[in-house]
Amino acid sequence: MKTVYSLGMLAAILLTLSGCATTVGTSPKGLEVPIEKAAIRFSVDIKDGGYNIVATDELKKWLDDGKKMTIISTLPAAEDRAFGILPTALNAYMPKSEKELTPEDREKLLEVAGNDKETTVVVYCGFVACRRSHIGAKMLIDKGYKSVFRYPAGIIGWKESGYPLTKF
């Protein structure tokens, strides 16, 4: 009887685990390695950049509460015009890599961020693996801004959450 019970429990566990194998994971398509690579890169960027991060729901709450902040899209202006921007956001294009950064890109970001280095600044781009927002947030930290946040989910995460966009 004990053996039958043990075999029954084992069968139940195996069925449960085999069923989980098709649903466990971050990616709906089961592509964990690209997600792992993006997560590691994101983690390194945060450490290197010295900025904070803000999640989608928290940023939405900040907007709803009227928190004083500057939100900056680092996407190309053409993409902002096509897709829309987060409410109150301004545009300051950043390239995909720091090697491509021009003095004009730097000047525009600092102009859009404003002179008050104590004001909260939120920088975003397209999605978690997009590094434009990292480049912008890191530059602001390097220039002495005290309250810099990167919004990693970007425009894609904002849209997925069903939150409103503003036409640029």
CB atoms inside a 10 Å sphere around CB 48: 11
91-118 pLDDT tens trace: 999 999 999 999 999 999 999 999 999 9
Pairing of strands 148-151, 90-91: unpaired
What is the pTM for the complete model shown?
Answer: 0.83
Going by pLDDT thresholds of 50, 70 and 90, the confidence category of residue 24 is: low
Does residue 23 carry a pLDDT above 70?
no
Model confidence at 82, in pLDDT bands (50, 70, 90)? very high
Cβ atoms 121, 72 nearer than 8 A: yes
Structural domains of the chain sorted by starting position, each given as residue range(s) with its CATH number in brackets: 31-160 (3.40.250.10)
Q: Is the pLDDT of residue 5 over 50?
A: no
